[in-house]
Chains A and B, each alone.
Chain A
Amino acid sequence: MYDKQILICAGTGCIASGATDVRDALEEELKKHGLQNKVRIILSGCHGFCEKGPIFIVYPEDIFYCGVTAEDMPELVEEHMVNGNTVERLLYKDPVTEEAVTSHEDIPFYKHQKRIILRNCGVIDPENIDEYIIRGGYLGLRKALNMESGEIISNIKDSGLRGLGGAGFPAGRKWETAYNVAADKKYVVCNADEGDPGAFMDRSILEGDPHSVLEGLMIAGKAIGSDEAYVYVRAEYPLAVRRLRKAIAQAEEYGLIGDNILNSGFNFTINVKEGAGAFVCGESTALVMSIEGKRGMPKPLPRPRTTTAGLWDKPTLLNNVKTLSVVPQIINKGVEWFTSVGTEKCKGTAVFALTGKTNRSGLIEVPMGTKLGDIIHEIGGGVPEGRNFKAVQTGGPSGGCLPASKLDLPVDFDTLIEAGSMMGSGGMVVLDDSTCMVDVARYFLDFTYAESCGQCVPCRLGTHQMLQILNDICEGRGREDDIELLLELGDYIIKGSICGLGKTAPNPVLSTIKYFREEYEQHIREKHCVALACKELILYRIDQEKCSACGRCRKQCPAEAIIGEKKVPHEIDQSKCTKCGICYENCPEKFDAVEIITGEENIPALSGKEGNE
């Protein structure tokens, strides 16, 4: 038995931060001290706190080290493993309280979470099926194999589980529909085509707890009468794909996938299909087309539901990674256990990739109904000092931006949609007052425009037109009627597009107009960007009276746009300035001589700039 076990996060984020180098250096140091057989190293999936990676936890004492490097290993082994002392400098220091925290359970980022879907992520070695079994893995399948289809479906219906890919459709009803369609062949498909910018919930589950998804697929298969599944996962998630394939191979070796599973007479196979990374392939009919080897495009309307005629025209049950991964726990622990968490209409938990301008960011899980503000302040630690909260963007490119007045809203599918945003698959980006809301809308629309499959006119041309208008507004060419035009176009796109991508594409624009209309108006009427973010509407200027001619800005300017010499206050040559902001950042605080100005009253050149291009 081991004296200590060291858990190193080996999710994609921590690997990028050097987790495997840390592992190699640790192995070497342990050998040097003759501890290689007394200390076990576990490479786990994602802990969620990626910004602090690589994460390194020592058990049984539960000491949480973060941001460790290979160079730290000699000291860590000598001090902690040999001498039994905690290495203070590698402990987590909270940016809000400024206190060092030893146990990960006391870190505010983790303390306020409830981990059901992510319960194994960062806890087990995802490449070891035995660890999954010890944590209760495959007990749900075992139970399901002794249940009739109707009983399994009743459990899922009674649990109130809703599709966690974003739509929030009741999972049990979907399962029931797929079950009720008579067919000689049915499929279950796991949608792991996670495409929202900044979202990594599904990837982390596949990397950190792949067996939970496989078990969920098998229970779904047993429920609807299917013997074959596909996991549609992005090829750009190589670690997730590798661990998924390894998990399938292990489950097959154990007789948990294949023929006559656990002597029940139930047969099930699971295939992996790697997608090429098109955002539209997250849409159910496009995903089905892609698996079939065709170009991934939504099927034209009218079209049958995939539960009736999906993959190769057979009834197909399509669920998201998170939805499937929680199913085994619902079957194993029971409906009452699951319904004890969440709200009246939304049971269970929600997983978010909390990013943007917060003190703490990463992958989080909270009960449905948790207030937006609690997520941002208690888990995220609020906006860093010196800035103010402005908005939170939820739901990725299909979602919207909500202002501070909405922070008391409970997070669930229905409430966020009513407020003009959506939960989506779980992206949550916090924005501060340095963010221009018109520019944010432009960023997301640029994404959906580029990802449109081009099949239907409202989406293909509508998003293009909206993007052109947003470009004009951000570049000082906005016209008085542009806001109304954006609203009108948004309405057409929502009504006329054939799939969810198009129908939700205008959301970031519509929600920012709804809550931040004055910013649009300022851009159009005054050529004024309050966040000083739109490059075409700002200028950098050096206050001659404040400038001490220290030369720091001149030396740092990559465009050589700063004119000046010793004892002569500097100036910016606007014809060369690229507005990178390096002069502003480098001007010593005591002089504060570089300023950013905006608006046509300050920048005469902006006057008369009008007309859509």
Chain B
Amino acid sequence: MERFIDHCCEKCEHTKDNPCAQFVECRLSGPLCHESQSCAEKRKAIIEKYSHSEGFQQH
């Protein structure tokens, strides 16, 4: 999972044609549809990669 659009595992089914209602929240604090430490770590890695400064994630 290099980008948020990539699936974290086979359980993620979000695509343009099969959209997930919680896609945005799921990328920030997911996975929301299944429990997986590994999938959570993948999201965290993307967030940390881009968070160059303190407070970057504040929204």
A interface residue numbers (CB < 8 A to B): 1-2, 5, 7, 40, 42, 59-60, 62, 123-125, 128-131, 133-139, 141-142, 252-255, 258, 260-264, 332
Contact = CB atoms under 8 A, between A and B. Distances in A.
Given A254-B23, A255-B16, 9 more contacts: A123-B53, A125-B50, A128-B50, A133-B28, A134-B50, A139-B24, A142-B24, A254-B5, A264-B21
Interface string B32-44: 0000000000000
B52 A60 contact: yes
> Lowest 3 A-B CB distances belong to which pairs?
A136-B59, A5-B52, A255-B16
Nearest to A145: B21
30 contacts: A1-B45, A1-B49, A2-B49, A5-B53, A59-B53, A123-B53, A124-B50, A128-B50, A130-B3, A130-B4, A130-B27, A133-B27, A133-B28, A135-B56, A135-B59, A137-B24, A139-B24, A139-B25, A253-B5, A253-B16, A255-B14, A255-B17, A255-B23, A258-B16, A260-B19, A262-B23, A263-B19, A263-B20, A263-B21, A332-B59
Interface of B: 3-5, 14-17, 19-25, 27-28, 45-54, 56-59
A254 B56 CA distance: 22
Contacts, number: 80
A7 B49 CA distance: 14
A254 B25 CA distance: 14
Given A254-B5, A260-B19, A261-B19, A60 B53 contact: yes
Given A60-B53, A262-B23, A134 B28 contact: yes
A8 to B, nearest CB: 12
A578 to B, nearest CB: 52
Nearest to A128: B50
Given A135-B59, A139-B59, A262 B53 contact: no
B25 A142 contact: yes
Main secondary structure of the interface of A (DSSP, over half): mixed
B31 to A, nearest CB: 15
Contacts of A130: 3-4, 27, 46, 50
A1 B16 contact: no
Contacts of A254: 4-5, 16, 23
B52 A42 contact: yes
B59 A1 contact: no
B23 A134 contact: no
Contacts of B51: 134
Contacts of B22: 262
Contacts of B5: 253-254
B19 to A, nearest CB: 5
Nearest to A61: B53
Contacts of B15: 255
B28 to A, nearest CB: 7
B48 A1 contact: yes
A123 B56 contact: yes
A141 to B, nearest CB: 8
Contacts of A134: 28, 46-47, 50-51, 56-57
A140 to B, nearest CB: 10
A426 to B, nearest CB: 25
A254 B47 CA distance: 17
Contacts of B21: 262-264
Task: Tell me which of A7, A131, A260 has the highest count of chain B C-beta atoms within 10 A of its own C-beta.
Answer: A131
B9 to A, nearest CB: 18
Contacts of A128: 50
A555 to B, nearest CB: 52
Given A252-B16, A255-B16, A260-B19, A133 B24 contact: yes
A464 B20 CA distance: 59
Contacts of B58: 136
